[in-house]
Structures are given as structure tokens and as C-alpha cells.
Structure 1
Amino acid sequence: MNSHRVHDYITDILACSGGTFVFKGMGLLKTSRVCTANPLDIHHILSKNFNNYPRGDTFRQIFDVLGDGFSNTDGEVWEFHHNTIMSLLKSPSFQTLLEDTIWDKVEKGLMPVLEYVYKQEVEVDLQDIFQRFAFDTISKLLFDSDPKSLSLDLPSVPCEKALSEIEEAIMKSYAWKTVDQFIYKSLAEKQKEFISEVNSKTQEDKFSTAFLKSYQGQSGSCGDPNKFLRDTLLNLVVAGRDTNSSALSWLFYLLSRHPMVEDKILEELHTQLNMKKCGNLKDLQAIDLQKLVYLHGALCEALRLFPRVPFQVKTPSQPDILPSGRRVDHNTTVILSFYSMGRMKSI
């Protein structure tokens, strides 16, 4: 009865039960589930006693398309991913590359498309626009190649389309094959380029090059270095495409329903940009983003109300007692409701 509003329904129950509730399996189904939006419980599971709460085999089976990627592994493999990827993302060269890549796509992809839509007075799906924007950006970063899915004719790019289909139904086999074809082809081209650079000792300062260098000789639990790279790249593509596009889609959805907030954002932009002197996008790029306090607040509100990952599932490997007093063991599935956390008045 509440499947059409499942997250709000769970939030209502959590609000009535102090932030944590238990429902137990009947008959032969002896597993019980604990659903929580209690900040202390969630901190305990995701930080304080993190090693006791792996994703587990069931999670890996459901999301087997992600293979040995960072969002689908535990233990040593996850540790390696975490340390390696965080090190790459924190490097100053990556931050510079990220800014350059995003602004290049804004100037050559996003703005021309939006201007065309505006002048032609045609209706478009903004979520599709933002997914294309994010897909082109993450592809450029990882493979040093721009698929140009965000163009005036909004071309059909098989991999970009297949990523949405994979998420709609985990799993459609042909969608999986389409994504693999894109990644393996891009990976082969980058590996060939990487080997050439190593032999000539003239490696360029690219994220894709640094990535391949960091993962050289690693094969994960599958024992296949190429498959391990494929899994990692797919996880990064999904993370890079979906987090940004989802956040932007919800932000603009909320702005369409709250024109007063939109007016305040525009007022802040005009004040900080000094529009009389603003000739082009480069002037917008040069602005100190820390000055856009209201815009930052609106984006944070959109993320609070519609988090990209609304919930996460964990299963303890050893019996444990949560700060809320709930006992859990290896037969207990723990559901962390981030969506509910953002809507609990008590929090």
C-alpha cells in the first residue's frame, strides 16, 4: 500500500518509534531487520565499529555488475580502493584538472544546449541533460576522452543509456554488455597510451595516467588485473555520473517549486558577480564560490531532502549491541535510512 512512498512511510514509522525499529521474519524466515535513523547507531556502524559491518555476500550478488569495485567490496580490497582513490582525488593536480574539465563542458556542452532550448522554446528533461553532463565529465577524467553525449542533437550514446537501464533493473544482460564494451575499449586505448608513455619516459599529468599507475599489478579477489580495472572504473563512472546529476536534478526540481528561493539565488549571483562587468562564463569561473552562501545552502537542503543514496544495508559479522540498545547478529539486516535522517525533526 505504501510502495509508492516507501521512504516517507519508513520515515513516519521511525519518527513514531524514536528513530529505530525492528521487524522480524516469520516461520522459516528467521532473519530480522533493524531500520534506523539514529545518528549514534549510524556513527557506530559506519565509523566506530565499521569492520564488523561488511556489505556481505547478499549485497555482492545483487550488485554483481559492480564486481570488485570500491562500492561492492569489503576488507583488504576495499581498504586498497579507499586509500588509493582518496590519494588520487586529494592531489592538487586532480583539483585543477577537475575544474578545467567541468568548465570546458559547461562552455562547450551545457550552455549551448540550454541556450538552444531557451531560444527554440522546447521542453527537455533536465535530469537527462545533467546525466549527460556528468557522464561526459567523468569519462573525460577517467579515459581522457569526451563521448560528447551533451550536444545540441542530444545523441544516443549506448553506454550512457545502458547505465540508466542497469540501475532500473539490476540486471539486464544486454545493458551490462554495452557498458563493458565501452569500458574495455576505453581502457585498452588508455593502457596502450600508458605503455607508450612509460617507454618514452614522458608521462603526462593526467588523472587517467595516475590511476593506471596506482592500480598496476593489482588483481583484487577475481585474480584478473583487467577485470579489476574494469570493476573499479565502472564504480567510478557510476559514482561520478549519478551523484552529480541526481543532486542537480533535485535542486532544480525544488527551485521550480520555490520561486522565492530561486529569486534569492539570482540576487546573490548578481550581487557577487557584478553583472555589469560580467562579459562571459570566464567571469563566472573566477568568482570566489565561498561568497555564494545562499546557493550553497540551497544545494545542501536539496541533498538533505533527497540524498543520492537514500539508504544503505549492513549485516554484522559478529553479535553487537547498537547505542540505541538493539541487539544484532549475523541474521540481522541493518537498514540505515539517510533519507529519514534528513527529515527527522528530532535531528
Structure 2
Amino acid sequence: MRKTGWKITAVAALLAASIGLNMKSDLFSVFASASSSGGTIDQLEEELASHFQSRSEHFTLQYKGDKHKLSDGLQNTINVALSQDDYTAYILDSYLYTIRSWGNLSTIKLEARYRETTEQTAVVDEMVSKAISRIITPQMNEHEKVKAIHDWVVDKLQYDETLKHYTAYDALTTGTAVCQGYSLLAYKMLKASGIPVLIAEGKVKTGDHAWNMVELSGNWYHLDMTWDDPVVKQAGTQQAESRLSYNYYLKTDEEMRADHQWVKSYPAATQSYSSELSRLESTDSAKADVYEKLTTDLGLHWAEPEHTVASLVELEQDIREAVMEEQTSMHFRYLHGSELATDLPTAFKQAHVSVRYSAHYEPYGNDGSMLVQVQLDYQ
């Protein structure tokens, strides 16, 4: 199931800046201000970032300089300030600002609302610290840490079908969240483990969406834990089963663009993770077994030629060989996933083998191929 449901409202409620000496002073009476001295744009960015990160709800800043330059550029200045910490940016629900100027001195008053309180974030930090102490060991390298955190988050959470839980606090205390909650929790855990991480936003077929990006061995990758946590209805029941997947685990820009779009500028993700693991396995002999295990655990080995069936003719040959060797099962990736339902019975028929079979298959990644498991019964 493809899931969205996050709200891009961090800058949704914006009061247009007003400039002029004739502005009534009671316009600002609703603000309980903590004033700062005048400064440059760079100082303004730092002060804004500090107030947002400390969850200030009402604050006043001063700026010395061209009031028109300030008015035209304040929105960008706020965006830059928020970009210093993605966690803060994505728990900010809305903000309003006004500007009042006297000559070259401007007073900026800002009111902000947040989805998560400082007390709630403290709970998140404590729970994240405890989780990391359980799932991360000193022997793990950064690749192993990312997988451990991915698996913990996907196993811990279920997608919030009510679209009410947006924060890491919601995710940890209720066990459910929309994509924004997944991304915020992943951000906290990855950053606490020393992994460079970002929150990315964009669109998918069903609407707005958020996910993460991480840097490993100098390469950036996309990581969508929400979409790696599909909800599957068991046949004949109303019970939902959450299954672990790696279809959106450490993907390149090209791989993600198959069903994710984004317009903001993010670090380029160009290196295939499968190729990177192969390189590391061959160059880091001390950790070669670790990279080999990661390749297998993530299912990346199914993309290798020896595990791939590329045509109906090849499928028929593999079935014939499996029966001749009296194998009880077959496991492979079939390139033409959309044709598997017809190709599989056709291949068994054309192979002229006396055997019954049952098959289970599911999409492999988003390239149209299928991961297939066939059980053979010789009775």
C-alpha cells in the first residue's frame, strides 16, 4: 500500500510583513517578546534558528539595514534558519511574522506553533537513546547501523490510517504515524548514531510525501521507511500484517524517481548501493563477511545474473533442470513480472515434467520484476 498523509504546513500560516512608521503599536500586543539587539542577516539567521530550535513561541528580533531588503528576503532567511535542523523544520506547524521599521532599524515579531513540545522531544530523545543502546553495538559500522535502525523503525511502527499522528513522539507513544512521523523518528535515531541524515519531501502518486536521505561512505542515498512498511491484508481475514521490505532502502535518484518526485535541492544520489557493497566486500577484507551478509539480508543478491530468470525459455529450462535434480524448491527473480502469471504455467507445461507445484511471488524493487518461490511436489 502506498502511503502519504503528511502535512506541509511548517510555513503555511504566514502573515505578510508590514513596514511603516504609521503602524499601530497595539498590533504587536499579542506577542510576549524576548528582544534581541540589532544585527546582520547572518546574525538574524542564527537567532531565528536558535529560537526555533528552543521552541520559542513568541519572540522579537531586531535588524539594522535596508528595510526593503529585509522585507523581500525575510522568508528566505527563515527558510535558511530552519534548514539548520530538519527535525525542528518538520515539527514546526505554522508561524506568523510582522515587521515594523523606523529608519534603518526594523523590529521583527514572530509567533510560532509546534507539533511537538520540548517535553515531548525530551521523551523522544530518552526513548531513542534506549532503543539505540539495544540495537546498536560498538562493533557495528555505519552500514550495519542504518539497517538496524531501519528494521527497528519498520517493525516498531504501523502506518496511521487516521492521518492524525505526525511526530516522532506520536510514533513512539502510539506506535503509529504518517510518513512525517516515520521520517522524524528515523532522523533522530540516525543522527544519534552518527549517520549524516536529512528529511526529504516531495510527491508520490497519492499526494505529498516525506522520507529520509543518508550518507554512507561518502555517498548519499534515499531511504523511505514508510514505503518499506507495507500493510498487507491476509486472504480471507480482516487482519493486517506488517511486513519488512527493502524496496526503498538506500536508493539512487534514478531508482527513486520511478515513483517519487521532489523539487527541492538535495545531495545527488548516484551510486548504486548494491555496487557499493560489492566494492566494499572486495576492498575491505576485515569486513568482507559483513558486506556479504548485508547483500543477502537486503535481498540484493537476487539482482545478480545467477539468480535472475530473463525469459520464458530460460524459465522452462530451469524447471526441467530442477526436476531432473529432484529439487524441492526454486527461488529466483523473474524479469518480466507482469507476465509471470501466464509464463509460469506455460513453462511447466512446455517442460513436460511430471510434478505438481505451488508458487508465491511478490514485486522485487520497483523495476517490474518479481521475486518468485516455487515449491515442487513429486507425489
Q: Structure 1-normalised TM-score?
A: 0.22
Higher helix share: 1
Instruction: For CA contacts below 8 A with separation 6 or more, give which structure has more relative contact order.
Output: 1
Q: Is the radius of gyration larger for structure 1 or structure 2?
A: 2
TM-score (norm 2): 0.21
